[in-house]
Structure 1
Amino acid sequence: MAAARSRNTNKAKMLVVDDEPDNLDLLYRTFRRDFNVLRAESGHQALEVLAEHGEVAVIISDQRMPEMKGTEFLSKTVPEFPDTVRIILTGFTDVEDLVDAINAGQVYRYITKPWNPDELKLVVDQAASTYDLLKQRGEAIDLLQNQHWLVMEMANIAQSQETVVTALPAIAAALQKVTAADGAAVHLVEGDTLGDDMGTAGAIAPILLKQDPLIAEAITAQQLKFMPNAAKVSDSTSKELYETHQVGAHGGVPVLFRGAVVAVISLQWQSPHEFTKTLQDFLGMASHQVALTLACL
């Protein structure tokens, strides 16, 4: 990974924790260009910040703080956020606490005070790169598991359902489960337009399939089309449509068989949702499995 994390339009989140406001402000100013920096003045407050904002890539915590030491705070974050990379700042010789925390895998590095900005930036960038690798590995494992499950589920649907129409709700339910979408729909396509039959699962707004230009674009281009954040849509009509039906993110996936679009998949989330490269690749595989299932019926 390169040193500048700001190469990504979506900055990684970092949490800095220190009971001294001047130190906290210095940490914030050091990393605000390259990270979305969250701040907390104690271990208890930091846990509240994590509860509100969710997982962060890197945590930098002072060791000596009132009520809760840095190592104690970091240990409490491990069960919920195992991939987060943790760094301790210390001006004291808390050797036993630090060694125990490092051996337990709770601390990636410790930096002694007064810290050098360039050194700390290098350590933090290495930590963020480690976080990226951990997430990629986790996504790869999840992808393989989800692929296997979906292949088996599509085979079961092909064997248990008698017609394409009766299979559509089951296919939609499988896609909703495997993508963790709030709602999913599978709509048959005739020519270049939507047909009459559709199966849905979860909290789905069926009207989006007919009124959202994203679906028509997916069918025409024969490519995945997605909108990760409805709040940032520039078209006022589409934005109003999303707001009315409480859709925060929408993906349209064409299902192709022998070069023709036979169906389109709509995946909807009530909150913004990132369409990572891993997710995009998975949706391509999923649409292929759906096409094979429909062809068997």
Structure 2
Amino acid sequence: MPTLADTVVTQPRPQVLLVDDEPRILRSLRAALKRDYDITTASNGRDAQKIIKANANLSVIISDERMPGLLGHELLAWSKQHRPQVTRILMTGYSDLQAIQNSINEAEVFKYITKPWNIGELKAVIDDGIIHENTHHQFLDSDRPEPTNECLLAIMNRVNSNDGIYHKVAKSLAKKTVMADDIGAVFNVLERHSNVGVLFVDDDRVDADTVNTVTLIHEKYPSVVIIVATSAADGNSAIKLLNSGQIFRYLVKPLTATRLLPMLQAAIKQYEEKAAKQAHIKQAYSDDTGDSLIKAYWQKVMKLWH
């Protein structure tokens, strides 16, 4: 399967920063990736920060989690503030729930890769991340349309114990809320209401059905921002929800209105940006002068939007 480097011969190679405190890992990754990307390495978070500050052309940062001084998710959270357009990927050999939760909630990572990695899958994730970053740049350079739809909140509550909290927060946000107690009801809500912007999934099971449901919703309704809350937290399911469902936040209960309010405010803002970006992508996709790689990447998504 051709990579971006094989396809794009007229543009500079994408720049990827690899961060790991193990020299063996950095050597192995560089050897595997140097043909396709312009690789820079750092052996700790502080050195990586200097590189990120100095390089405005980075496309992807891949960081290990367990490093002395500055943890991987801390570095990626820092990079989100300083280079928000750069795609952030966390790589680790451990299913550390706290690290996974922090990487989702604080660093807003694009993907989570476990060691040992498969080089073909790693390149595919990097390529997706590069196109994600390129799309972001195109969007920033365009005239952003103002949000046209009122953001509707949808709650899939499979626990039935937090309705009062949801209604209180929705009232504070002045947002309409639609409640659903099972998977089928959620899809009915999404079919009936085109302006659902945020889906909050309250599910103490978070089993394969939940992961599959979230994945399908993301694929079919990519503008919807998804938050998952559970008391049965599990690192492996959190990774699946991030990698397949691109969830925005992963919460471990208990829930409070004080905790939920800023998170839902951030989710609404994220939805407005995603909806505007979707409109831009549709326009770019129909424009013959647009970037062909971005068109190819988003073609499968576009089919789901019609």
Task: Give the TM-score of the pair, scaled to structure 1.
Answer: 0.45
Computing the radius of gyration from Cα coordinates, the structure with the larger value is 1
Higher RCO (C-alpha under 8 Å, 6+ residues apart): 2
Structure having the larger proportion of residues in strand:
1
